Amino acid sequence: APGAQEFIPPQADTIDELRAAATGCRGCELYRNASQTVFGRGDESARVVLVGEQPGDMEDQKGLPFVGPAGRLLRKAVDDAGIDPGHIYLTNAVKHFRFELRGKRRIHQTPDRVHITACRPWLVAEFARLHPEIVVVLGATAAKALLGPTFRVTKQRGELLPWPAAAQHPEDFTRVPVDSAGAVADAPETRLLATIHPSAVLRADNHDVAYDGLVADLKVAARALR
Ligand code: URA
Ligand code: SF4
């Protein structure tokens, strides 16, 4: 598979232009069985950007990220942490739903490394057009995409980490902030925080403990906002 890079128009300035181009991506096999590309959405000037794994069943049908049960839980956790859910940008490490058919049921399958790598150029392109203060990495797949295969969410969740030094290929994420006059702006540095995926809260034996842990991590992000 060629990867997503060749599907990204270099002249695409905005997230909307990227989203339009991503509808035709065939950078890996996942476009074949999924219904549609599910690109990031939300406030493009958001101070908080959250990165999930891949669209779920509901997201695949609606074409929007985080509109199913995990998304509902995530927005509530964001709100409970004191971050305005109306001013966030939500995206995923992989933009097509990977699943296995069991009878008529579509069962979620975790994306493999090949899918994460193939789809990563879209994530890089999004970050080149966003300017968050905090990037929240939700679960192991997003952590692999942004922090490399050795990062362990369970060991480092809730810690504020530097960005782009924290990223696997920092050069991909170097952004030169430019103000409306075209001058290089003195923008605050972006930082990164990893936590568990909202789906892990839905699956947890002790839901309340898992939920409180997610909110506690998001509060670290909220307190770090300038
Ligand atoms: N889980 C994710 O990681 N992303 C979504 O968009 C929905 C569920
Ligand atoms: Fe392209 Fe990503 Fe979809 Fe693969 S998962 S086809 S790389 S958008």
Does the beta carbon of 56 lie inside 6 Å of ligand 1?
yes
> Which mutation among 5, 119, 126 tests ligand 2's pocket best, with the greatest number of atoms within 8 A of CB?
119
Q: Is ipTM beyond 0.90?
A: yes
Digit-coded pLDDT (tens) for 155-183: 999 999 987 666 666 666 665 555 555 45
Which domains, ranges and CATH numbers included, belong to the chain? 5-224 (3.40.470.10)
According to the model, what pLDDT value does residue 67 have? Answer: 98
The confidence score (pLDDT) of residue 175 equals 54
Distance between CA 21 and CA 15 in Å, rounded? 10
Question: What mean pLDDT value characterizes the chain?
Answer: 92
Helix/strand/coil percent split, the chain, to 5? 40, 15, 45
Q: How far, in Å, from the CA of 144 to the mean position of ligand 2?
A: 16
Alpha helices (H) along 55-178: 57-62, 69-80, 113-129, 139-147, 153-156
Residue nearest to atom 8 of ligand 2 (CA): 95
What is the predicted pLDDT for the residue at 167? 66
Predicted pLDDT of residue 188? 58
**pTM value?**
0.93
Would you say residue 185 has pLDDT above 60? no
